A and B are shown apart, each in its own frame.
Chain A
Amino acid sequence: MRKLVLISFLLLFAAAQSFAQSRTINGTVVDNTNQPLVGVTVSVMESQRSTQTDVNGKFKVDADNGQTLRLTYIGATTVNLKVDAQTKDPVIKMETGNNSLNDVVVTGYQSQRKADITGAVSVVNVKDVASIPTGNIMSTLQGRVPGVTITNDGTPGGVGTATSIRGITTINNSTPLYVIDGVQTRDNIATLLNANDVESIQVLKDASSAAIYGTQASNGVIIITTKKAKKNETRINFDAQTTLQQFHTGIQMMNAQQWGDTYWQAYKNDGQKPNHDLYGNGDVPVIPEFIDSKKTIRSANTNWANQVYHNALLQNYNLSVSKGSENGSSTFSFNYFDQDGLIKNTNFTRFNGRVNSDYNFLNNRIRVGENINISKWNEKVKPGGIEELAIAQHPIIPVYDIFGGYAGPTQGIGDKPNPVRLLDQQKQNRMDQWRIFGNTYIELEPIKNLVYRSAFSINYRTGFSSVFEPKWKEGDRTVDKNTLSTTSDYDRNWIFTNTAAYNFTVRKHSFNILAGTEAKEYIAENLTGYRENFLIEAIDYRYLSAGDGKQTNGGIASRNAINSYFGKINYAYNDKYLLEGNIRWDASSRFGLNNNAGVFPSVSGGWRVSQESFLKSISAISDLKFRASWGKNGNDQIDNEATYTKYLTNLIRAGYDIGGINQGTIPNGILKDRTGNPNVKWETTTQTNFGFDLSMYASKLNFTLDYFVKKTKDMLIDRPYIAIIGEGGYTAYNGASLSNKGFEGVLNWRDNIGKDWNYSLTLTATAYKNRITSVPEDIYYTFGGGNGIDRTIVGQPLGSWLGYQTNGLYTTQAELNDGVTQQGKGLGRIRYVDTNGDNVINDRDRVWLGSDQPKFTGGFNVSVTYKSFDFAFFVNGMIRDAYNNSKFYTDFFQLWTGNHGTRLLDAWTPSNSGSSIPALTAVNLNDEARTSEYFIENGSYLKLKNLQIGYTLPMAIAKKARMKNLRVYLQGQDLLTITSYKGADPEGLGYPYPLPRLFTFGLNVGF
């Protein structure tokens, strides 16, 4: 590695020698809006000498009077400047037009012009999502970035948003790496980033663009840059948003009478006389006045969804102040975000403060700065499983009994707790956290274009949670013990990064070289306390010392560290042929000392065909570039201590009352926890990418398409083992492999009609296929849901369902005589398919039934402006299968004694023979809860995700009011869903925190 560093300096030295002749021109290049232009090629036509402008748009080139400077920049009109005696420090303006190719894209440790990029990098159009209310910027990008899958739920603050890039790369943690202003993290960005602060987002998708992050890059890298002050501008911005959130994804459940009727019918179908503990045993079900023997719980007709969900408010306020000058700039921003959840008593409140500043000295040869975010957030979380409970709870149960206490289930109606009690109990629990996130840096530029940068980053989180379980009574279930559990914890994470970069141009050859080192340490520790018996339950007494009962405590810690060296070289010939190489060497504490290092190389190339003379004549094509890349990335998201064999003391699993004393201190025992594997190594992902970028009709049309093949091998899995080895036999090892192959593209058209109408249409599409490609022999038939006998997950997508095929229902006697032995078969019962042809339905008939991985995802955004009005809408969707597990409640009376869906009212009967819903029965003789095609539905959907309309005060009027701008807007989120999925929401399968429908009013003012 050091050699590479030395080589880079030798090169630098050689280049430096070529200076110091004739006279030096110090120029600056700016765009239409007087912002510096980076990466403009400045060449002296006569001498073939050439250079590029730096981040401040400045360049330095030697030229004699009479020679001509030629400034070229993609999409801009070339400027020729004759050097004469008067030419001193020229400021040159270039008309860049409406072209994104010149956008500077922040890639690993550096920035590049988009036109020069050879990997697969998506640049997010942050403007499109800027006014969508969210605590987590990623949540707004769903369907807008090709190749990026974002799953949202309604958890306040966007805490439940998950992102994956180009399929499921690993069975381990597949969160991408976030790099926020140069600080790497995998923490939930809802807790460290104010969406209003975001200036740009870049997604590094292929191996070559991410390879500079080495072992951390397998899952892709998302680079986020926050807003900084612009040169010579002072700005105050204020944003306010108020949002109403509505619950809109309920499932139609039965009322108390329908439930009784269904029960009666089910028993009649079984040839039994209906007899229910509450509804009596008459000819028809009778709702009793009370549902308990003590007559304290009046029967009701409760819609539990109404008790759990409510309309909720989201508020978001943001104030930022920035000031830029020649020698430095500073920005302060403050954000207050407060979102109540659809589920009662849930909330996320966050306060963010960000400060960044940078200053330069010695004629910009030294630059120092920092970018620090401080956030404080509180969460009120939901009781676990409350969403399912809202469906499952029986409607005959009231919320309260006649004394105002909580009512609960009695007989024959399940044993689920009262959701309202759970919600009330959760209300006063505390979860407060603070985080300091950011870095400070120094940049030295001892000679022109050689930049040495040293940055120290921290990510320090500290949290406190207090969970109190009061005494409670619900129906006849009583708990007369209260308990308090508190946890205090911290994560301390630091990164020390040192890089040197040098770029230079020799004739038509331009080079950009980077070398660096990085060290990183992560430490986490917690302390927990638990106590029972609090005499007084009031909120101010919920501290451990106020209790007087049993108390316990606990604490654990974890640590890992990485040491790295990396280098990168970019080469371009005549703006036409592009080549990039990356290499990173990482050593991690997660792996044994003898085997802890890995090397991750990548190469990529680009050919800007549009620069070739044969295409230059075709004026319709503004730009055409073909790209190809190959590289290796790693994944280190495994147990910190996988290399060690561990034993632990564990009172719960190994303690024993050997003295037979029944109460008091019992001796502790030791058990084996894990078996170490000193030879574990990284997961590696090898990815090949082919793509092209096409820009036509003066950049009105932009089209990017990528094809990728991504192969992950040596996935770290816990080796299952033969049981006779006993507990603690699990050992991490490099086992399974999988692959993802797919296409992703984005097509954009923007134009104007007349001078008042502007519009832009953007279509994104992603299609990929995930497949497990190999699994070790000993778990070939068991890993990933195999049947253990002859069905393996190999060849199937991860998460595939193994189950029974179905062939509708048995509807006629003739069908029943099909000669297949299916225990419990009967009219109106599900007809399972005898896939192995042995005429018996048993677990050998289970086959792979697919998975819920999306086959296609896409988004379509339209934005239109007319004079001062702007209008936009966004539609996204997905094609996939879904396993609708709510059918357990909605379609099968026999599986559960709580509530059921109204779909059951349409169950099959000889007279309702068109129904596909199995006949009502009270006994599950046909075992219909088994995993089968019956539960699998078309889970595809199309959603009107966002619709907004805004009005911006015309400049002239705004100026009079001493404002720079004023915009007001209205918008709606999740407004319409088109789907045939029968569950709650095809976007969130299972029972996630439901996504709200949002209506927002917002305001931005700038001074």
Chain B
Amino acid sequence: MKFRLMILVLLLCSTACKKDFLDSKPKGKLSDELLNTPDGIESLCISAYSALAGPEGSDGTFLSPTTNWVYGDVRAETAYKGGGGIGDIGEFNAFETFTAVYASNGLLDRKWFNLYSSVQRANNAIRRLNAVSVEQVPLKNVRLGEMRFLRAHYFFELSRLFNQIPYFDENVATEDYIKIPNNQFTRDQILEKIAGEFAAAADLMPATQPQAGRATKYAAKAYQAKVTLYRAYKQNTNNTLATIDQVLLNNVVTLCDEVITNGGYQLLADFQQLSQAEFDNTKESLFAVQYSINDGTPQGRINWSNLLNAPRGPAYSGDGFFQPSQNLVNSFKTDANGVPLLDSYNTTNLMTLQDGLNTNVDPRLDFTVGRPGVRWKNYKAAPYGLDWVREPATYGPYSNKKALVSPESPFMVKGFPWGGSALNFNLIRYPDVLLWKAEALIELNRPLEAVPLINETRTRAKNSKYVVAWNSASNTDYAAKYTIAAYQPGVNCTWTQDYARKALRFERKLEFAMEGERFFDLVRWGAAEQVLNNEYFIKEKTVRTYLQNAQFVKGRDEYFPIPQPQINFSGGLYKQNPGYL
């Protein structure tokens, strides 16, 4: 009996197994310690760069695009949301019309989260770089410069989207994040800090880097100039323009001069080369988001921000978002001398192919905008037509042309993602530097010095190879009556400070059209309400019915609301932006 019992007890306990039976380590994942090696740190730096293209990768990036097409152009007078009707991503329609933009808008929370994720990727690398010696990681200081550059860039994006933001560095313990308010620093203080970070980064980085995607000394100085220019336009707490700081404007001029003199940058010969991946990272580009295809990822590390932004068939089969506005198309009209119609550009609509042949237009029109009847890059089967548009009845006949490579390009993905390519997205290109300096000079009341700077971009446009007509009889049988000239004070214009300011702002609109900057420019200049309500919506709604109720509210819509979930997480520490509930 006892013997039997013993056997039973033994059998019952037989499942008391080896010690590690209940210790299941993660499979295929990395632990924290592994990351403090030189290889680990390098990969964290890559990850911080990668966030430029969107930390969400292939899937969700288009919902919080890093190319700012929604925030910078759809909110401005230059572009519509496009796509399959106003309900197709209704959150973006809300941004476009400034109606029903609530703090509970999920896509704003997403944008906020992604930008802070990007900041933290840089911080993670910085913390570990701080902890190693130059012997262990020879490029320690260069990498530190790069990471501070990236972090400053992400904070700058946050600043111009949300204004009141929590600002911090890499030395915050996780449990302390909850204690950081969003009104600790004013806009001015944050921009000052960001500019300071770029200055520090410039000191740490060399003038050129062996890898084209990395930030450089002059990219940092140029970015410092940009941030300083934003800072020069001081804002009141209700977002209105207060004063323009002359000292800061002078800093902008100095910084731009350094870049112009020592950076070695030039404009590309032909404006169209900006849409060719072959010209990525060449002399015009100071800093760009790098995209790639056939790179080991299933669909390419392409510009997922623009996922929806290719026209539909035949060339791309895309989803037709992000369409140029009639206002933008009209802006390309020039007078007989080739100078923009700064005041009267929008009195008539340039709509048809014939209109373009009857009116003088800037050649950049057909580099930037897909227009019915006009040749599309090297596409041979047909000209761009109305059937390239998803819903012309709602969003008109135009498509974004600039951000797309020609359909036969070896740098374009075949099939989905439609029109996806390795074409970089420039965060700073050389004309930026020229026009920032010009803007500073004009506001410093030195308008004449701005003339050659503005003319540099116009001359490049003039010297570009124009788009020829679909059934062209010759190389000079163009698709429109391209007429463009440099500003010649006293000859084709009267160059006062006021005129110069208008010319500069117009030049930015044309040169950087559809590049995600316009709305931020308008807000910086304190011009958003005037331009959007009094010039844009009032006219545009006659051709685009859905804009009927669109209305920019001054003192509110300059910035997005602070996402409500973040206010909640902060336990009420975050303050909402003015004008929002």
Contact = CB atoms under 8 A, between A and B. Distances in A.
A481 B296 contact: no
B294 A550 contact: yes
Given A415-B312, A723-B569, A561 B87 contact: no
B21 A563 contact: yes
Contacts of A670: 30, 35, 40, 43-44, 46-47
Given A498-B15, A657-B291, A723-B113, A897 B391 contact: yes
Nearest to A675: B174
A346 B313 CA distance: 30
A761 B313 CA distance: 63
B87 A722 contact: no
B50 A654 contact: yes
A896 B301 contact: no
Q: How large is the interface on B (under 10, 10 to 19, 20 to 34, 35 or more residues)?
A: 35 or more
B30 A480 contact: no
Contacts of A446: 4
Nearest to B299: A652
Contact of B86 (A556, A587, A720, A923): A923
18 contacts: A277-B392, A411-B390, A454-B11, A515-B12, A517-B13, A561-B21, A596-B22, A647-B32, A651-B296, A654-B50, A657-B292, A663-B410, A663-B411, A666-B297, A670-B40, A727-B117, A788-B568, A929-B87
B100 to A, nearest CB: 6
Contacts of A672: 124
B393 interface: yes
Interface string A701-745: 000000000000000000011111111000000000000000000
A664 B422 CA distance: 11
B87 A894 contact: yes
Interface in B261-276: none
Interface stretch (B54-62, B232-240, B484-492): B54-62
Interface in A1-17: 2, 5-6, 9, 13, 16
Given A477-B317, A660-B211, A646 B30 contact: yes
A988 interface: no
A644 B29 contact: yes
A593 B19 CA distance: 10
Contacts of B56: 653
B32 to A, nearest CB: 6
B393 A277 contact: yes
A114 to B, nearest CB: 29
Interface string B17-46: 100011111111111101100001011111
Interface string A532-576: 000000000000000000101001111111110000000000000
Nearest to A454: B11
A412 B391 contact: yes
A519 B21 contact: yes
Contacts of A646: 26, 29-31
Nearest to B47: A669
Interface stretch (A230-238, A268-276, A907-915): A268-276
A550 B413 CA distance: 12
Contacts of A480: 414-415
A475 B313 contact: yes
Given A410-B387, A589-B24, A660-B213, 13 more contacts: A292-B387, A530-B298, A552-B296, A644-B25, A654-B121, A657-B292, A669-B43, A669-B49, A724-B180, A782-B565, A788-B564, A924-B87, A925-B548
Given A411-B392, A924-B86, A725 B174 contact: yes
B242 interface: no
Contacts of B389: 411
Contacts of B208: none
A87 to B, nearest CB: 29
Interface string B283-301: 0000000111111111001
Given A656-B301, A925-B549, A650 B29 contact: no
Contacts of A721: 569
B212 A478 contact: no
A531 to B, nearest CB: 11
A255 B40 CA distance: 60
Contacts of A515: 12
Contact of A647 (B27, B29, B422): B29
A418 interface: no
B30 A649 contact: yes
A640 B22 CA distance: 11
Q: How large is the interface on A (under 10, 10 to 19, 20 to 34, 35 or more residues)?
A: 35 or more
Interface in A462-481: 475-481
Contacts of B545: 270, 272, 922-923
B73 to A, nearest CB: 22
Contact of A415 (B112, B319, B392): B319
A663 B293 contact: yes
B16 interface: yes
B430 to A, nearest CB: 17
Given A415-B390, A662-B292, A788-B565, A656 B116 contact: no
Nearest to B182: A724
B393 A9 contact: no
Interface of B: 1, 4-5, 8-9, 11-17, 21-32, 34-35, 40, 42-50, 52-53, 55-58, 84-87, 90, 99-100, 102-104, 109, 112-113, 116-121, 123-124, 166, 168, 174, 177-178, 180, 211-214, 277, 280-281, 290-298, 301, 312-314, 317, 319-320, 385-387, 389-393, 410-411, 414-416, 422, 424, 545-546, 548-549, 563-571, 581
A727 B50 CA distance: 14
Contacts of B16: 517, 563
The 7 closest A-B pairs by CB, nearest first: A726-B120, A476-B313, A660-B212, A669-B47, A479-B415, A653-B57, A477-B317
B21 A656 contact: no
Interface in A288-339: 292-293
A362 interface: no
A727 B120 contact: yes
Contacts of B87: 894-896, 924, 929
A286 to B, nearest CB: 15
A655 B85 CA distance: 34
**Which one of A593, A656, A661, A778 has the highest number of Cβ atoms from chain B below 10 Å of its Cβ?**
A656
A648 B32 CA distance: 10
A282 interface: no
A234 B11 CA distance: 36
B22 A587 contact: yes
A927 interface: yes
A500 interface: yes
B166 A724 contact: yes
A6 B9 CA distance: 8
A669 B50 contact: yes
Nearest to B41: A670
A657 B387 contact: no
B155 to A, nearest CB: 11
B294 A655 contact: no
B156 to A, nearest CB: 16
Contact of A722 (B24, B48, B177, B290): B177
A563 B40 contact: no
Contact of A652 (B12, B297, B390, B549): B297
Contacts of A475: 313
A216 to B, nearest CB: 16
Contacts of A214: none
A842 B100 contact: yes
B536 to A, nearest CB: 18
A823 B549 contact: yes
A521 B390 CA distance: 54
Nearest to B416: A479
A577 interface: no
B564 A789 contact: yes
Nearest to B292: A657
B15 A517 contact: yes
A9 B10 CA distance: 13
A276 to B, nearest CB: 6
B295 A655 contact: yes
Contacts of A935: none
